Amino acid sequence: LMLAKLACSQKITNGLVTKNFDQIHRGATDLSSICNATAWAAHKDPVYAHHRTELRKQAQKLAKMAEEKNLDGATYSYMHSLNTCINCHEYCRDVLSIIDDSKVNLKVVPIPSN
């Protein structure tokens, strides 16, 4: 899931810097679909669930901003979604003590180091 979310993020970022609203919309709708994935929803922690819900809302808002061709709104929504991602990863690392996915079967793909 992590690699898929990163691919969406790349589409959105590229769309924002090139003012390509179709690309922003594709990345946002793909991200929204990932947020609805049952494999990601498997974790029962309420704070984790809140972050997942918040990211879904931001992805939907980002798609709407792209449809409206509102670059400032899309940029703001994307920055908010990044903040949500960072907060969720911080929570997973520091509170849920997810340190090294390669040693635990979490079904989360680690971010490549290079």
pLDDT at position 20, please? 98
- Apex 91 CA angle, 74 and 59, nearest 5: 20
Please tell me the pTM assigned to this model: 0.78
pLDDT at 46: 86
Look at residue 48 in the predicted model and tell me its pLDDT: 84
Nearest to 83 by CA among 46, 43, 111, 54: 54
Predicted pLDDT at 106? 47
Q: What is the pLDDT of residue 17?
A: 98
In the prediction, which pLDDT does 43 show? 66
Give, to the nearest 10 degrees, the angle between helix 21-35 and helix 71-94. 30
Give the domains, in start order, of the chain with CATH numbers: 2-103 (1.20.120)
Q: 64 is written with which tokens?
A: 């709407």
What's the start-to-end Cα distance of the chain, in Å?
18
SS3 for 70? coil
Instruction: Per residue of the chain (114 residues), give pLDDT as tens.
Output: 778 888 999 999 999 999 999 999 999 999 999 888 766 655 678 888 888 889 999 999 999 999 999 999 999 999 999 999 999 888 888 888 765 544 545 455 555 565
Taking each helix axis from N to C end, the angle separating 2-18 and 21-35, rounded to the nearest 10 degrees, works out to 160
